[in-house]
Amino acid sequence: MEENLQIRLATTDDMTEVMRLAVMACEDNGFLDFSQELLAREIYPALALDHGLFPVIGPPGGPIEGFVFLKIGTLFYSNRQCLEEKCLWVHPEYRAAKGGRARKLLDFTKKTADTLQLPLIIGIFSTRRSAGKEKLYERVFGQKAGAFFLYGAECGKAHQEIG
C-alpha cells in the first residue's frame, strides 16, 4: 500500500491537520520564533486555491504524512509569476518508510510547475541532514543554483510566539 502513495490537494477542510504539521515543521526547521496566526494567514489561501496549492500525502480527514506548501506570485524584482515552494516537510515517522514521500512531493511540485508553465523556485532550508537532501533535489531538478547561509541562528531553534 505504501508504495502507491497518492498526493492530493489539501482543502480548507484540512486546516486543523495542516496547521498541526506546519507547527511541527516550524519546530523542526524554523530559525525564528513563529506565530500560528501568521502561519494560518499564509496557509489558508493555498488551501482555498487562492494563489497557491498545498499538496499532501494522506487521506481527507486523516493524518497527513507530508506536504509541500506552494505559492504563486512574483518576486520583488519582477512582474512575471513563478511557483515558489515555501516548505516541503515529511513527518518524522514517515521519513524512513517505503514509498519515498519527499521524492513524490518533489516530483509533484515539478509536474505542477510544468503544468502551470511557471518557473519554480525551491530549496532546502536546514542546518541538519542537508547533504542527502541536496543529492535528492539534484536528482529531481538538476544542478543547484546557490546556497543559503544563516548567521546568528540555527534551524530547529524556533519556538511558538506567546501572545
Structural domains of the chain, ranges and CATH numbers in brackets: 2-141 (3.40.630.30)
What backbone phi and psi angles, to 5 degrees, belong to 141?
-110, -10
66-74 and 120-121 beta bridge pairing: unpaired
Q: What is the pLDDT of residue 124?
A: 83
Q: What is the pLDDT of residue 118?
A: 97
Q: What is the pTM of this model?
A: 0.89
| pLDDT surpassing 90 at residue 152 | no
Q: Determine the length of the chain.
A: 163
Output the average pLDDT for the chain.
91
**CA–CA distance, 34 with 6 (Å, rounded to integer):** 30
Q: What is the pLDDT of residue 130?
A: 75
Give the residues across from 114 on adjacent strands.
none
Mark out the alpha helices in the chain (DSSP H runs): 15-29, 36-47, 101-116, 130-141
143 and 133 Cβ atoms separated by less than 8 Å: no
